[in-house]
């Protein structure tokens, strides 16, 4: 079974609008972490935001927030006030504590921000 599922291969958003990128995950480990990474066309992987399975509040980092719904096993990334520089691939990832903190990644979502 897929550990991480990203169902949106590509998305468009108008500059200055908010956008939500979907991510669902599958684990039986009670202790896990969820991550989002950005990969611009240059290829580097940039860490954006982290959510722990025991965190009570949704994580936020500047314009990024994580909509964590534990019962639904979803961890959607919300980008507010989109900028042209947000155009990139976005990957959702999960780390399971019982599994040596091994990282699993989804297939990614290509976000295009339109001027």
- Considering the complex, state which of residue 67 and residue 99 has its C-beta at the smaller distance from other proteins: 99
Closer residue to other proteins in complex, CB, 52/67: 52
Contacts of 22 (CB under 8 A, 6+ apart): 6, 7, 8, 74, 76, 109
Provide the minimum distance between the beta carbon of 7 and other proteins in the complex, in angstroms, as a whole number.
12
Q: Could you tell me the smallest distance in angstroms from the CB atom of residue 2 to other proteins? A: 10
Residues facing residue 93 across a β-bridge: 35, 105
Closest by CA position to 21, among listed 114, 109, 112, 83: 109
Given the complex with other proteins, which of 50 and 64 has the nearer CB atom? Answer: 50
Closest distance between other proteins and the C-beta of residue 115, in Å? 25
């Amino acid at each position: 079974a897929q550990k991480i599922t990203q169902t949106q291969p590509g998305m468009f958003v108008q500059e200055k609008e908010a956008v939500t990128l979907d991510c669902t995950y599958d684990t039986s480990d009670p202790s896990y972490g969820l991550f989002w990474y950005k990969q611009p066309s240059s290829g580097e992987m940039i860490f954006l935001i982290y959510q722990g399975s025991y965190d009570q509040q949704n994580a936020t980092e500047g314009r990024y927030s994580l909509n964590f719904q534990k019962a639904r096993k979803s961890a959607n990334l919300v980008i507010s006030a989109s900028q042209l520089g947000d155009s990139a691939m976005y990957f959702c990832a999960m780390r399971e504590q019982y599994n040596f903190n091994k990282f699993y990644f989804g297939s990614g979502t290509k976000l295009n921000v339109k001027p």
